[in-house]
Amino acid sequence: MKKVLIFYPYISTYGGIEETIILLAKNIRKKNLQPVILCFSNQLKIQKYFKYLKVIELGNDNYLKKIINLKVFLKDFEINYKGHALFYSFKSAFFAVLINFKNYILHLDDPPSLLKKDESLNKINFFSYLRKIIVHQINKKGIANALVRLTTTNRNAQEFLKDYNQKFEVAYHGVNIDNIYQNKKRENTLNLVSISRLEKSKNLEWVIYSFEKLLRVKKFLKYFKKINLFIIGDGADKKRLINLVNKIKVKNVFFTGFVSYKRKLKILSQANFFLVPAVQGYGLPVLEGLVRGIPAVINKETRVSEILKNNPWVRISKNNKKDFSKKVIVHIKNLYLKLPNKKFLANLPSQLTWSNLIFKICKWQD
């Protein structure tokens, strides 16, 4: 079986990129190819989500060892693998320059403005500043050397063009539309759902704040016997969010932690509204909800909003807690009795279309 290669240097937590890679690997396997992920560290153990995914871990040692191991591994790439390698993240482009490897397609989801800033650089000194400049220049060369550059939205592409003077093609991530659960409305229960890594940048306190405000709307209290909020995901901000729930004394907020794909679909099958307050480069869960007929309220800084601006299933808020809460209540008031026409969901991006584009660009097809 012929092999194709995805290089994703550090696999640490389950998020949008990891889920996209897993779904891509499944489509690779369906085409009778062997998906291989190359990385330095695999804390997530990503192969447990798809048993036919082969992971090669080179070791997370010092930079010199990583460079040597990567160069040795990719020395015979053209002999061992089909087409071009798919490189994910700035780090992959960085290492491509250090080993002088150029046979890759580069996929970057988040532009620099959305990436975590190194806290140590808050106290700028000459050496940290110099390091920052050097890394930027290497990244710039790694981006320029890519055979094709891909990102997830037009807004991201514009930012990359401004920062790196390189054109990026836009490839909208999509959702798998096979075996979709029908959204089962529970007449006397209102279920709100948010799916995200529990990090401060995801603004999940806005969801809790909105939920608390919603519980004060007498109209809803009369109509629904129970109103629930499900927050799906895990992360470093979990303790703070739980403390916030306890502090404001709201009930029926459920932190599910990380759940299996099957469990997630089951929760979505009973969801009535989907809440996404995050600042992020795309926002795949928004589409996962919409394709199952779940109206959504999203922050305009969730950049998938650029293709949902005129969709009545979606209400887009400003980038602040107060407006997000206001939009949640307005959207539920408008739609809890009657949903929009499903024709507005007919042309959402599909995962298969995205995968086929990757196959074509990476020349994984015969």
Secondary structure of the chain in the HEC alphabet?
CCEEEEECCEECCCCHHHHHHHHHHHHHHHCCCEEEEEECEECCCHHHHCCCCEEEECCCCCHHHHHHHHHHHHCCHHHHCCCCEEEECHHHHHHHHHCCCCCEEEECCCCHHHCCCCHHHHCCCHHHHHHHHHHHHHHHHHHHHCCEEEECCHHHHHHHHHHHCCCCEECCCCECCCCCCCCCCCCCEEEEEEECCCCHHHCHHHHHHHHHHHCCCHHHHHHCCEEEEEEEECCCCHHHHHHHHHHHCCCCEEEEECCCHHHHHHHHHCCCEEEECCCECCCHHHHHHHCCCCCEEEECCEHHHHHCCCCCCEEEECCCHHHHHHHHHHHHHHHCCCCCCHHHHCCCCEHHHHHHHHHHHHCCCC
Mean pLDDT of the chain: 92
Res. 121: pLDDT tops 70 = no
pLDDT of residue 120: 41
Considering the domain boundaries, does residue 179 fall inside one? Answer: no
Considering the domain architecture, whether residues 7 and 139 belong to the same structural domain is answered as yes
Considering the domain boundaries, does residue 180 fall inside one? Answer: no
Structural domain boundaries enclosing 264: 189-345
Q: What is the pLDDT of residues 41-65, one digit of tens each?
A: 999 999 999 999 999 999 998 999 9
pLDDT of residue 7: 98
Lowest mean pLDDT among 82-86, 142-146, 179-183: 179-183
Rounding to the nearest 10 degrees, give the CA dihedral for residues 87, 91, 97, 98: -130
Residue where the block lists tokens 């990244």: 139
**CA–CA separation, 88 and 134 (whole Å):** 20
Tokens for 287, please give them. Answer: 């589409």
Res. 325: pLDDT tops 90 = yes
Q: What is the pLDDT of residues 61-113, one digit of tens each?
A: 899 999 999 999 999 999 999 999 999 999 999 999 999 999 999 999 988 88
CA distances from 62 to 37, 66, 67, 233 (A): 20, 6, 9, 32
Considering the domain boundaries, does residue 196 fall inside one? Answer: yes
pLDDT of residue 130: 86
C-alpha torsion sign, points 237, 240, 243, 248? negative
Considering the domain boundaries, does residue 325 fall inside one? Answer: yes
Give the range with max mean pLDDT: 23-27, 36-40, 133-137.
36-40
Considering the domain architecture, whether residues 150 and 238 belong to the same structural domain is answered as no
Considering the domain boundaries, does residue 183 fall inside one? Answer: no
Considering the domain architecture, whether residues 326 and 264 belong to the same structural domain is answered as yes
What average pLDDT score do residues 186-198 get? 89
pLDDT of residue 118: 41
**CA–CA separation, 315 and 275 (whole Å):** 10
**CA–CA separation, 169 and 156 (whole Å):** 10
Q: Are strands 85-88 and 104-107 parallel, antiparallel or unpaired?
A: parallel
- Tell which residue, 17, 35, 49, has the closest CA to residue 82: 35
pLDDT band of residue 125 (cuts 50, 70, 90) is confident
What average pLDDT score do residues 36-42 get? 98
Considering the domain architecture, whether residues 32 and 146 belong to the same structural domain is answered as yes
Contact 305, 283 (CB under 8 A): yes
Lowest mean pLDDT among 114-118, 196-200, 212-216: 114-118
pLDDT of residue 185: 58
Res. 179: pLDDT tops 70 = no
pLDDT band of residue 178 (cuts 50, 70, 90) is low
**Main-chain phi, psi angles of 198, to 5 degrees:** -85, 85
What average pLDDT score do residues 296-306 get? 96
Considering the domain architecture, whether residues 226 and 78 belong to the same structural domain is answered as no
What average pLDDT score do residues 275-294 get? 93
Q: What is the pLDDT of residues 232-279, one digit of tens each?
A: 999 999 999 999 999 999 999 999 998 887 888 889 888 999 999 999
pLDDT of residue 58: 97
Res. 181: pLDDT tops 60 = no
What's the domain count of the chain? 2
Considering the domain architecture, whether residues 151 and 287 belong to the same structural domain is answered as no
Which of 207 and 218 is assigned the larger pLDDT? 207
Considering the domain boundaries, does residue 262 fall inside one? Answer: yes
Considering the domain boundaries, does residue 105 fall inside one? Answer: yes
Which of 57 and 13 is assigned the larger pLDDT? 57
pLDDT band of residue 186 (cuts 50, 70, 90) is low
Looking up residue 243, the CATH number of its domain turns out to be: 3.40.50.2000
Considering the domain architecture, whether residues 14 and 149 belong to the same structural domain is answered as yes
What average pLDDT score do residues 142-160 get? 97
Q: What is the pLDDT of residues 355-364, one digit of tens each?
A: 999 999 999 9
For residue 115, count other CB atoms closer than 10 A to its CB. 14
Res. 117: pLDDT tops 80 = no
pLDDT of residue 46: 96
Instruction: Report which residue type is found at 284.
Output: L
Residue where the block lists tokens 């927050």: 231
